Chain A
Amino acid sequence: MMNIGTAQIQFSDDEMEINMGPQHPSTHGVLRFRTFTDGELVRKAIPEIGYLHRAIEKIGEMVDYNGFMPYTDRVDYVAAMTANHGYARTVEKLLGTEVPARAQYLRVIADELCRIASHLIAVGTFPMDIGAVTPFIHALREREKVNTLIEALCGARLTYNYVRIGGVAFDLPAGYQTQVLSFLESFEKFIDEYDRLISFNQIFIGRTANLCPISKEQAIAYGLVGPNLRASGVNWDLRKNIPYAVYPELEFNVPLGTGERGQLGDCYDRYIIRIREIRESVKILRQCFDKIPEGPIMGKVPKNIKPPAGEAYTAVEAARGELGYFVVSDGTAKAYRVKIRTGSFASMAIIESLSNGILLADLIALIASLDVVAPEVDR
């Protein structure tokens, strides 16, 4: 025990405390881990959050319902449309608004494009954290194409904001269907190429298989959601289990982790499940363009939204799992309380318990495999 100023710091003889982040090449934004190591062996990595805290929930209580819409895409800027969608659904539930079918399809198209964009970041940064730089750049090249598609849809490449309470902002631009379908064609070839480049690379499998497996029980206990949960073999996808929008009309599979290269729920499972979800998203997009009906894109929503007093919680299946909004209305133009439940927050929590006894290099692989996005943790 040693006193420095007022703080008491416990030192162990063979323990080194390393500060990883907030500026560290592989912390994906500004994450910080207080890492206690014995040489390279990690004893404990304690996540320190809050570096990207922007008080988004509080802003939700300070501006009116429509005014909060542009803030929601900052909740998760890697896949912003799903964050829009979640908030819109909650307010619609409060209002009791019916959303027209065409708008529902457009939302799903936007969501799935965002899921592809987000998973491309996830499967791209994972190999980069393991030392292969090229897959990341190839993934980002494809992401740029997705961004172009999203730009055609809503006019922005990063802070896209498309979903509105009651519908969506714009209808499809001319020739959008052919644009997307031709992209999907080249994109499916890209996924095959990507698999050859990195997914089945022996060093990559050696680094990720059997690494930090999360059992079913553990995943549920820590409240993991989305691909991280499904990688542990739990069949839980909001698009299937609590269907919303037009997902019941679409056919797609929910890929589950099987531990094919190692144990169930290891880092490789978490990686490969995202590749498979990208393939499923491609399927969904194709069906959406087959089935999309004509019609209005906005439901009947009053100009000044004043939902009746009450509360509502809805969630969408975002790229990082269940993204839920809990909104309490007191009957005025501003929400009384907005609470956002994100997947990355739960993923951050499990890191500490998994980090005991792994190597420093594995810690980075673990963080990358959980696909933690810093703004989603802090909000």
Chain B
Amino acid sequence: MSSIELAANKIVSLNPLFQEIPIEFIYLGLMLLSASLLLGLLIAPIAGFSTYIERRIAGRIQSRIGCNRVGPEGVLQFLADGIKLLLKEDNMPKGADAPLFKLAPFLVVMGAFMSFACVPFGKYLVVANINVGILYLISISSFAVVGILLAGWSSNNKWSLLGAMRSAAQIVSYEIPLGLALMVPVLLSGSLGLQDLNTAQAGGMRNWFIFAAFPGPFIAFFVYFISALAEVNRTPFDLPEAESELVSGYNTEYSGIRWGMFFVAEYANMFLVSAISVTAFFGGWQPSRSNIVVSTMALFFTFLILVKTVDYLSKVIPGLLQGKKLFSLLSNFRPMRMNKVGWIAILCASIAGAGVLQLFADFWPVILITFIAKCYFFMFIIMWIRWVLPRYRVDQLMDLCWKKLIPIGFACLLWTAFLSLFGGWSGLF
């Protein structure tokens, strides 16, 4: 019985009036509610927040500061960007295919957001616990290709068209190694359901699939991760939107919030592939002792932002009360400089906090936080790669996919299948 059915039964038992309503309507209502809650409260902020993190990481890597004005340390920058994009003029080039041009960004966002329906954030924190989750994910995420192709075609721009063609070729090709790599954990858990992957990895790090049937899944993870980078059009596979080659690729002609949608989808997709990496290879939401590391990371960041928030408010609010303009306050804002003692204090507090969280490891908010923190670890790696590596060429991209990743993916699959069939499989430890 799924969580939605449980909730529906509970609602029906609350009041006899509810029994008059057909149960399907209650299902539908609950699904819409949970989906909008998931999208509004979780995915959209995660996608927005990721853009902030990306900009700060890019700043660090490029020896500059990055955004630090809107909100404490600039964490609210994505809201400001979103408002800016909403207020911008929605331009459409002459000769564009209007209905398709307008539809394309929605398709891309839809593909990204629909995939989240089956991502388990916790034991009950999953919208649709379908038993063919991986199949669903792979098929739904292909929506993005349709959207990108439409965007490129309908823009009536040669650069956009080239970007769209690249994207189609790239995403369709890389789905094969991606699927092959994901078959390895499926083989190990014996089910296509994402929740079953989690269940099979319960009981701590030693049961993580990445260490199982060594080195099959270990290599498969890298195959998956590389293919996933290509799936979400990130460097070194950002050919569809290669700025220096195709101006901006398939989204050249887009502006305002339609342009923003492509980027929300990109960051949502990044989070999605990180979440699948975690679910398929790194124990998913299952509490384990290793979570102490990621929860320390998460808490460190949270405490840092808290300290900065206090600092920010203590500087901005008195100025506002004196009747100064917010803009001038922000442009003259001097963020607090943290000294060594401060860093160490925050680190100690977050380690202690992580220890405390470990005591409540089965409590669902803790599971949610650690899962998201784990995902952000992979997000960080994706961003890191983006700001360091150059881009592949089209032919090299295809070489890598067909001549390297697919054979390696097959080898991993066969190796894992072989071990499962004959020796049974045991972990690395």
Binding site for B on A (CB under 8 A): 16, 18, 24-26, 39-40, 127-134, 137-138, 141, 197-198, 201, 203-204, 206-207, 359-362, 364
CA distance A197 to B62 in the complex (A): 12
Residues facing A in B72-118 (CB within 8 A) are none
Q: Is B28 an interface residue (CB 8 A)?
A: no
Q: Is B244 an interface residue (CB 8 A)?
A: yes
- Over the window 391-408 of chain B, the binary record of Cβ atoms lying under 8 Å from chain A Cβ atoms (1 yes, 0 no) is 111111000000000000
A-B CB proximity, top 10 nearest: A131-B391, A132-B390, A26-B244, A137-B62, A130-B390, A129-B244, A131-B390, A18-B158, A203-B390, A204-B390
- Other than the given A132-B390, A132-B391, 9 more pairs (CB < 8 A) read A39-B162, A129-B244, A129-B245, A131-B242, A132-B389, A133-B387, A203-B389, A361-B239, A361-B245
- Over the window 50-72 of chain B, the binary record of Cβ atoms lying under 8 Å from chain A Cβ atoms (1 yes, 0 no) is 00000000100111100000000
Cβ-defined contact, B388 with A360, below 8 A: no
Which residues of the partner chain A approach B391 to less than 8 Å between Cβ atoms? 130-132, 203, 207, 361
CA distance A24 to B249 in the complex (A): 12
CA distance A40 to B63 in the complex (A): 35
- Over the window 311-338 of chain B, the binary record of Cβ atoms lying under 8 Å from chain A Cβ atoms (1 yes, 0 no) is 0000000000000000000000000000
Residues facing A in B350-401 (CB within 8 A) are 387-396
CA distance A364 to B247 in the complex (A): 11
Q: Quick one: given A25-B244, A361-B242, A364-B245, are A138 and B235 in contact (CB under 8 Å)?
A: no
What is the minimal beta-carbon distance from B249 to any residue of chain A, in angstroms?
11
Nearest CB in chain A to that of B64: its residue: A137
Which residues of the partner chain B approach A127 to less than 8 Å between Cβ atoms? 390
Interface of A is mostly: helix
| Cβ contacts A to B, 19 pairs, < 8 Å | A16-B158, A18-B159, A25-B244, A128-B244, A130-B391, A132-B388, A132-B390, A134-B61, A137-B62, A137-B64, A141-B63, A203-B236, A203-B389, A203-B391, A203-B392, A206-B393, A207-B392, A207-B393, A361-B242
Nearest CB in chain A to that of B237: its residue: A131
Which residues of the partner chain B approach A141 to less than 8 Å between Cβ atoms? 63
CA distance A359 to B395 in the complex (A): 9
Which residues of the partner chain B approach A39 to less than 8 Å between Cβ atoms? 162, 165
Nearest CB in chain A to that of B63: its residue: A141
Which residues of the partner chain B approach A16 to less than 8 Å between Cβ atoms? 158
Cβ-defined contact, B238 with A137, below 8 A: no
Which residues of the partner chain A approach B388 to less than 8 Å between Cβ atoms? 132, 134, 197
Q: Quick one: given A18-B159, A207-B393, are A134 and B387 in contact (CB under 8 Å)?
A: yes
Nearest CB in chain B to that of A130: its residue: B390
Q: Is B5 an interface residue (CB 8 A)?
A: no
What is the minimal beta-carbon distance from B229 to any residue of chain A, in angstroms?
13
Which listed residue (B62, B243, B396) contacts A206, Cβ 8 A? Answer: B396
Cβ-defined contact, B393 with A362, below 8 A: yes
Which residues of the partner chain B approach A360 to less than 8 Å between Cβ atoms? 162, 245-246
Number of contacts between A and B (CB, 8 Å)?
Answer: 82
What is the minimal beta-carbon distance from B215 to any residue of chain A, in angstroms?
22
Cβ-defined contact, A130 with B165, below 8 A: no
Which residues of the partner chain A approach B159 to less than 8 Å between Cβ atoms? 18
Nearest CB in chain A to that of B61: its residue: A134
Which residues of the partner chain A approach B158 to less than 8 Å between Cβ atoms? 16, 18
Which listed residue (A26, A132, A133, A201) contacts B245, Cβ 8 A? Answer: A26
CA distance A16 to B238 in the complex (A): 23
Cβ-defined contact, B393 with A359, below 8 A: yes
Nearest CB in chain A to that of B238: its residue: A131
CA distance A116 to B162 in the complex (A): 37
Nearest CB in chain A to that of B59: its residue: A137
CA distance A26 to B391 in the complex (A): 14
Cβ-defined contact, A201 with B389, below 8 A: yes
What is the minimal beta-carbon distance from B6 to any residue of chain A, in angstroms?
49
Cβ-defined contact, B390 with A198, below 8 A: yes
Which listed residue (A131, A134, A206, A359) contacts B244, Cβ 8 A? Answer: A131
CA distance A127 to B236 in the complex (A): 12
CA distance A176 to B395 in the complex (A): 51
Which residues of the partner chain A approach B243 to less than 8 Å between Cβ atoms? 25
Which residues of the partner chain B approach A130 to less than 8 Å between Cβ atoms? 244, 390-391
Residues facing A in B152-184 (CB within 8 A) are 158-159, 162, 165-166
What is the minimal beta-carbon distance from A128 to any residue of chain B, in angstroms?
6
Nearest CB in chain B to that of A203: its residue: B390
Which listed residue (A25, A131, A134) contacts B236, Cβ 8 A? Answer: A131
Nearest CB in chain A to that of B386: its residue: A133
Which residues of the partner chain A approach B242 to less than 8 Å between Cβ atoms? 131, 361
CA distance A360 to B165 in the complex (A): 13
CA distance A141 to B247 in the complex (A): 25
Which residues of the partner chain A approach B166 to less than 8 Å between Cβ atoms? 40
What is the minimal beta-carbon distance from A132 to any residue of chain B, in angstroms?
4
CA distance A130 to B245 in the complex (A): 8
CA distance A18 to B236 in the complex (A): 25
CA distance A18 to B388 in the complex (A): 30
CA distance A137 to B63 in the complex (A): 8
Which residues of the partner chain A approach B62 to less than 8 Å between Cβ atoms? 133-134, 137-138
Which residues of the partner chain A approach B58 to less than 8 Å between Cβ atoms? 133
